[in-house]
Amino acid sequence: MTPSQTPQPSLQIDRYERGWMIAAIVLLATFALAVTVAGAAMGIQLPAPELRVNPQTVASEGPFAQPGVRELAPGRYEAYIMSQTWLFIPREIKIPKGSEITLYVTSKDVQHGFKLEGTNINMMVIPGQVSRLTFRAEKPGTYNFICHEYCGLGHAAMFGTLIVTE
Ligand code: CUA
C-alpha cells in the first residue's frame, strides 16, 4: 500500500453522543457568559476579604475589641461581629426597618460561617480575615444568623439574631 492508499482513521461518534457533546459545550459556554456578564456588567461579586487582622490580638484591640452595632448616620449602621466557638458576639442586633447595615465579621479561633437566614447574606468567617457584606432591612422581622461551617461540638447551637423593628 502506498501512503495515499492508507485509509484515513475516522472517529466514529454516535449521533446521540455528538448531540450530548454539543449540548455540554453550549451549556459551558452559556455558564461562562453568564458569569462574565454577572461579574463585569452587573457588578455581582463574591464577598472579598475586607482586611487582614491578627486573630491573636483582634479581640483585644481595634473595632472587634468592642463588637456591636454603631449608628453612622440616620438609617445607616455598621456592626462588628466576633465569631468564636461557639457564639457570635453580639448575639443580638437591632435595627429599624428601611435602614442599611454593613456587617464586618471575623473569627478569633477557627473557621466559622455566617448566613443570614431568608436573605442572600452568606460569608465565610476565617481567622485573620474580615468579611464584609451590606444588608438592607426592607422587611421587619427576626432573622437568625447561623454558623454554617462545622466548627466543633457546639456548632449547631452557634447563632445570633438580627431584629428589624417597625
Ligand atoms: Cu461556628 Cu459552626
pLDDT single digits (tens) 128-152: 999 998 889 999 999 999 999 999 9
Q: How far is the CA of 115 from the centre of ligand 1 (A)?
A: 11
If you ran DSSP here, which 8-state letter would residue 58 be given? Answer: T
Ligand 1 within 6 A of CB of 108: no
pLDDT > 90? residue 8: no
Which atom of ligand 1 sits closest to the CA of residue 152? 2
Q: How far is the CA of 48 from the centre of ligand 1 (A)?
A: 20
Q: Is residue 25 part of a domain?
A: yes
Give the whole-angstrom CA distance, residue 116 versus residue 162.
8
Mean pLDDT of 43-54: 78
91-133 pLDDT tens trace: 999 999 999 999 999 999 999 999 999 888 999 999 999 999 8
Q: How far is the CA of 126 from the centre of ligand 1 (A)?
A: 11
pLDDT given at position 3: 57
If you ran DSSP here, which 8-state letter would residue 65 be given? Answer: G
CA 127: distance to chain centroid? 15
Q: Are residues 37 and 118 in the same domain?
A: no
Amino acid at 49: P
Ligand 1 within 6 A of CB of 114: no
Q: Are residues 54 and 35 in the same domain?
A: no
63-95 pLDDT tens trace: 999 999 999 999 999 999 999 999 999 999 999
Number of domains in the chain: 2
Q: Are residues 67 and 86 in the same domain?
A: yes
Domain that holds residue 151: 48-165
Q: Are residues 21 and 98 in the same domain?
A: no
Q: Are residues 97 and 37 in the same domain?
A: no
Q: How far is the CA of 99 from the centre of ligand 1 (A)?
A: 28
28-43 pLDDT tens trace: 999 999 999 998 888 7
Ligand 1 within 6 A of CB of 150: yes
Q: Is residue 6 part of a domain?
A: no
pLDDT given at position 2: 55
Nearest-CA residue for ligand 1 atom 1 is: 112
pLDDT band at 46 (very low <50, low <70, confident <90, very high): confident
Q: Are residues 59 and 112 in the same domain?
A: yes
Q: Which residues of 60-80 are buried (b: 16+ CB within 10 A; e: fewer)?
A: eeebbeebebeeeeeeebbbb
